[in-house]
Structure 1
Amino acid sequence: IFSSNLEPRDLVDDAFLRRIPYKIEVKDPTEQEFRSLFSKVAKGMDFSCSPETLHYLVEEHYVRGQRPFRFCHPRDLCRQVENRCTLHELPRVIDNAAIDQAVENYFSIM
C-alpha cells in the first residue's frame, strides 16, 4: 500500500507506476463525514467532547483557516489530546484549549 497527497507522477516514473496495478483515489471527507468521524474516534478513545467544541474545531481551525478535512485528522488530533491528558494528568475531556494545543502541535511547520 502506498499513500501520498502528492501527484504520483511527481514522485515516481511511469515504470514504477505500472508496477502498481490498482490506483485508488480517496477523496477528502465532507464536513459532515469529518464531524461524524471525529465524534466516533473521540468516543472510542473514551473522551468527552461537546458538540460546541467540535463546532469550534471545524469553524476555527478548518473553515477559517481554509484547511482541508482529512480522514486521518480526527484520530491524529485525538491522539495529541490523549498525550496531553496523560502527560499533565488531566481528565479525558476535549475542550477548546485542548483543540488549540493539538492543532498547533499537529500542524506546526518545522
Structure 2
Amino acid sequence: MRLIQNKASDDHRTAVAHVLEGAEQISIAVAFLKEGGARIIGLLLEARLKQGAKIEAFLGTDFYITEPKALAHLLAIKKRFGAFEMFLANGKTATFHPKSYVG
C-alpha cells in the first residue's frame, strides 16, 4: 500500500498514478466524481486493467455533485473489463464522503 502525500511538486493526477503503478488490486472510494476526473482516472485504470489488475470503485452521489457523464465514462470501461467493479453509495441514510485510492 502506498500513501498519497500533498507535495508541492506533485499534482493529484501524478500522485494517484504513482500509487496505482504496478498495482494488482486497486480500491477507490470517492465522495464525488466529475467528468474531468473520470477521464483522468479512467486512463490510469484502463492501463492497469490491461495488465490484469482487479479494481473496485465506490462512488458517492450525495448532493448531486457526481456528474452523470463521469459515471457513464467509468461504466463504459467497466463493460469492457470484467475485473472492474463499480458500486454507487446510497445517500438516503447517510453521507458517503471518503477519499481513498489503494493500490
TM range (shorter): under 0.3
Q: State the TM-score, normalizing by the size of structure 1.
A: 0.26
TM-score of the aligned structures, taking structure 2 as reference length: 0.27
Give the number of the structure with larger relative contact order, counting CA–CA contacts within 8 Å between residues 6 or more apart. 2
Q: Relative to total residues, which structure has the larger strand share, 1 or 2?
A: 2
Higher Rg of the two aligned structures = 1
